[in-house]
Amino acid sequence: MASWQAAALARFIAFKIKRKPTSQDEMQIVRQARQKLGHMPGYVQPAIPADLHIRTVSLTTLDGDVIRGEWLAWKTDYPPATVLYLHGGGYVACSPRTHRPITVTLATLLRGRVFALDYRLAPEHRFPAALDDAVAAYRWLIEGQRMAPRQLVLAGDSAGGGLTLSTLVRLRELGLPQPAGAVLYSPWTDLAGTGETLETNTDRDVMFYGAGIRLAGRIYAGDTPPDHPLVSPLYADLHGLPPLLVFASSSEVLLDDARRLAARAEAAGVSVELHIEADLPHVWPIFCRLIPEGRRTLAATAAFIRRAVNHASSSNSQLPGSSIHDYRLAASTAVTAH
């Protein structure tokens, strides 16, 4: 049963955010999404510890990849783990700044680093732009920043959760080493929109209607079939992926995306933990300042990351991957942005 804080928050979200689609016009839908989801009010944003340094990063590699995002790193201590975080927002909205409640809290709990990627958004940049950016960011971390894959964990929520899974699949296809693990909050893994809970939970979900999810999927996919395995990683071959930690709410429209993903991953021999929480808002960890369930989920995430990194670091085996080579930068800027 959800806490009274979560129940109150759910009523507030339903009043402020949930709207049935009133138009098929892409740009109108995107403008509405960016207006509703493009910023987080101050009472949701976390307090930033004095010794946590946040930099806005923008760089271009010699391969021509442009990588933008936020680095969260401590001014002292060597971090035991680094998280590459991919924010949600239906592939059309949000940013690293909107998701600081998650990234700052994870950095604090882990005493580790987080790189929150500012990937390109649709409809200005449709599939595969976001995926290309995520793969480029991962390569930059392991090749340009010389980070060991066994000390890296990918994480993401909603669209970013699906993008996290697509990134793992693409890394395997490219022969790149896998990270130690991945965490998915309310992942959107089926942009073809075939999950039963898009219909059965459409009135219970306090944030979205199933019809709106399908519209957003078409905006991101563009001319690519929505069941393409890198658009909708639910349909991908999942063998060889690292351990997964998956969270979903019993009342959200994307519940079936998480349940079916967990079943397919397990069938492919992937270690997967699925946690279904009762009657919580979509991506509830972002409300960790307001509800105890958000704090508990992020604490469980930090524990999983520690276990995954420790296991990967102590293991002598490694998934097949390419050798790490020089990934030099053509240009780089970094601006402090607290």
State the Cα–Cα distance between residues 46 and 261, nearest whole angstrom: 31
24 exposure class (CB count in 10 Å sphere: 0-12, 13-18, 19+): exposed
- CA angle, 163 as apex, 44 and 2 as ends, to 5°? 40
Note if 158 is an active site residue: yes
Active site residue: 3, 58, 158, 313, which one? 158
Strand runs labelled E in 33-104: 52-61, 66-74, 82-86
CB 96 within 8 Å of CB 34: no
How is residue 140 annotated by DSSP?
Answer: I
Closest CA to 231 of 124, 127, 98, 319: 127
Closest CA to 234 of 320, 163, 179: 163
Closest CA to 334 of 50, 51, 71, 141: 71
Positions marked catalytic: 158
